[in-house]
Structure 1
């Protein structure tokens, strides 16, 4: 006799997703159907690419399974507008292929959620993860900027990911090459150029205007707006080379989109902060500093970067060194600490452009946040225009962030490439 399962109303219109969920529950040795609790897994503004639900399933005997269900939107125009299938395939490959192999090799856990299952069927892409919020992890307020302690936690998490990747590359070059082949670069390659370059140019124009306004005039250049304009004038190819033309001995698996909305934090009773990395849709193969500068230029206040950069790099490297030693490798031979600052300076133009793209989203007020679910017109342009609300929400806080960040880069002489 076919087992009778109570289908929650929210899954009544998506029976394939529900069948996938029940299969995963069976795979955990549980009997589906006793009790389901489903609620939104993210707030408006926290995620634009996926539909996320928190699902609690209570099986016979009272055993609860807490899941985060991350599904690709079904609307074809929305999927086309944001390259959603490609991003989901990227993330699924990271969770199913890269992370298990890295974990098995290095002998330590990685700061990511456990995967319960995933499907890459076209139009039905779904990832089921452990709900880290049930373990006490929570998202920070993106508008506040991360604290020094939170930044240190993220840098340790990135160091663990990077160290594991270095270990795989050194210990099994063929496996690493296969991994690198499976990871998709979403922005900085010729096949992606036609979609991303116009977006980047528009974001750069808006960033330049905000920097000018912050320092007094939207129509006149000053020392800091001139510096950013020079970066903008270098164009797509220059920035693409920073990301993709990386020495072979520095190529590792990167998170690729490491900013506040893709991070969870937990503070222990002794005050120690730990972090987990979410959302590997933009994972890429590149140099470690690409992740570090992306994170520090977007997710904390520029004054923290200025005050604590050397300390931040030291926190990262100590964790990197410790984890590589656990895996049987010597960090100084693979990536000497003395190279960190030079790599930082080489990546600063990339970091400033990324900050310009993300700053509006960092400080966007609730009333200006896009609501992609509300789009009525079924066209690519309608979804792009709705998302564009973020880029048009230029708050005093985003102006200050960008103005102070470029000033810091000029005053610390991190823009030597422009001289």
Structure 2
């Protein structure tokens, strides 16, 4: 197992100390992001090499309405590794949010879970995949004064977010399920090679404690209640609205069962928050050719159905969800999953029937997340300024946001599909 040697103490500095300029560029930047912070980040990320960091220039602060579990900053750093020429690298700095919500995220260990993914799991998974990258390069984690990550910003390399409002077309979805299958398959091999690593990821951080269930109830239930009122207005969905109201009453006591690991299941390391804004795509002539997954705070060693259902009911365009489901399941995900395990010498390989069973068992998870976040995903960025978790838990402000998001054409089409599917498989009774 890899040693935790990339976690550096906040006070550590480079052996070659230089005067560094950190330019906040009139952006409201936390005070701890000073020269010492960046020196420690480079020492960690460059594996103790003597690197002279000359200057850091911030180019972006947090944007409202797009990130809910962290604040994101972007900066450019100029450094020298002892060569004649200076080099420039773009950085993403990810910070735990302030206030009661941020404190709660810290208590349940979301950032520590992501640290463990980047330190213990991803390097080994990428090794098994012959160096194929799953995520952007991780440089540094700092626990105090506030939990903070530093990553290489892959935007200059051509990796960007896709259009979440429009949703992902078939080409994007094929790429997602192929990369996801490789990630899952390699994690299965790693779990056999290094079972001690996966004990770290055996607990679902979102669903295990009563406090977390109370937080979910406060955040989730208003979305379901508002949706039930909207569904009642759709012709032919009157009985569905009644079933939805009955479903609401069983959410709090069942979230842990629906979302958490089970004793008997095909287990892989899941992303567990797989939706369009947690995927960065690279394009060539307008076509997606590669991707990185980001934001692994919720990762858990559990069913592949968690990722499959979460993504399927939040991120594809409606026609892809409606017409290409079997193709994505069998032709993209399972075909790649099986071939990756074969190449890595793993046996016995789960059958297609095993995977289909895992997906169906976890469709309730996809349903829940579609209600919780699809209306936000479908909202135009110009309408997202008020989309904070605090506003969503305020009844008046929250209902206004839900009213906008749940009236979009994509939301209505997708949710009608999902509701009919939940009735068909018996989730809604």
Distance 2:51 2:21 in 1: 15
State the match for 2:10 in structure 1.
Answer: none
CA RMSD between the two structures: 3.1
Cα displacement string for residues 194-214 of structure 1 (whole angstroms, at most 9, x for unaligned residues): 221232222211222222233
1:295-306 equivalences in 2 (<5 Å): 295-306=311-322
Cα displacement string for residues 139-182 of structure 1 (whole angstroms, at most 9, x for unaligned residues): 111110111111111112221221122112223333322x325x
1:283-322 equivalences in 2 (<5 Å): 283-314=299-330, 315-322=332-339
75-84 vs 188-197, which moves further: 75-84
State the match for 1:376 in structure 2.
Answer: none
Q: 2:352 aligns with which of 334, 337, 347?
A: 337
1:31-50 equivalences in 2 (<5 Å): 31-33=52-54, 35-40=55-60, 43-50=63-70
Question: How has the CA–CA distance of structure 1 residues 415 and 233 changed in structure 2, closer, same or farther, with 3 Å as cutoff?
Answer: farther
Counterpart secondary structure, 1:16: coil
1:150/1:275 contact within 8 Å kept: no
Question: How has the CA–CA distance of structure 1 residues 12 and 2 changed in structure 2, closer, same or farther, with 3 Å as cutoff?
Answer: farther
The unaligned stretches of length 5 or more in structure 1 are 374-379
In the superposition, the TM-score normalised over structure 2's length comes to 0.82
Distance 1:303 1:83 in 2: 39
The unaligned stretches of length 5 or more in structure 2 are 1-15
1:264/1:276 contact within 8 Å kept: yes
Counterpart secondary structure, 2:362: helix
Distance 1:287 1:247 in 2: 10
Distance 1:89 1:266 in 2: 28
State the match for 2:412 in structure 1.
Answer: 400
State the match for 1:409 in structure 2.
Answer: 421
In the superposition, the TM-score normalised over structure 1's length comes to 0.84
Q: 1:72 aligns with which of 96, 99, 107?
A: 96
Distance 1:184 1:93 in 2: 14
State the match for 1:209 in structure 2.
Answer: 229
2:341/2:349 contact within 8 Å kept: no
1:172-191 equivalences in 2 (<5 Å): 172-177=194-199, 179-181=200-202, 184-191=204-211
298-307 vs 183-192, which moves further: 183-192
Tell me by how many angstroms 1:50 deviates.
1.7
1:22 corresponds to 2:39 = yes
State the match for 1:133 in structure 2.
Answer: 155
Tell me by how many angstroms 1:32 deviates.
1.3
State the match for 1:98 in structure 2.
Answer: 121
